[in-house]
């Protein structure tokens, strides 16, 4: 006899929240890689990713100014990616518990 495993709505909501955070962080990392590796800024795909990454970076762009543009992008947008992972992780944990 096998038992059917049921998942709660909280578990599903928790996974969705974590997934959204991972997607947001992935967009930020993709933008960082395209800047650091010298992608063509006139490319439509670059502009699309930039149009997603810049609003998701919230207040982080300009937070660190080292004098090197690539390092600035790495620090500021990398911090935004970590922010999304941490915040959505905490939200997912809170949703799954209550």
> pTM for the complete prediction?
0.85
Given a cut of 50, whether residue 11 has pLDDT beyond it is: yes
Read off the tokens for 55.
């609003």
Q: How far is CA 77 from CA 10, 22, 32, 58, 74, in A?
A: 30, 14, 7, 9, 6
Tens-place pLDDT, residues 40-96? 999 999 999 999 999 999 999 988 899 999 999 999 999 999 999 999 999 999 988
DSSP three-state, residue 11: helix
Poorest-pLDDT segment among 3-7, 11-15, 32-36, 44-48: 3-7
């Amino acid at each position: 006899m096998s038992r059917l495993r049921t998942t709660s709505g909280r578990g599903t909501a928790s996974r969705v929240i974590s997934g959204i955070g991972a997607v947001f962080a992935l967009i930020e990392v993709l933008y960082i890689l395209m800047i650091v590796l010298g992608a063509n800024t006139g490319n439509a795909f670059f502009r699309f990713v930039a149009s997603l990454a810049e609003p998701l970076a919230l207040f982080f762009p300009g937070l660190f100014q080292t004098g090197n543009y690539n390092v600035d992008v790495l620090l500021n947008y990398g911090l935004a990616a970590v922010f999304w992972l941490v915040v959505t992780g905490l939200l997912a944990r809170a949703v799954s518990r209550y």
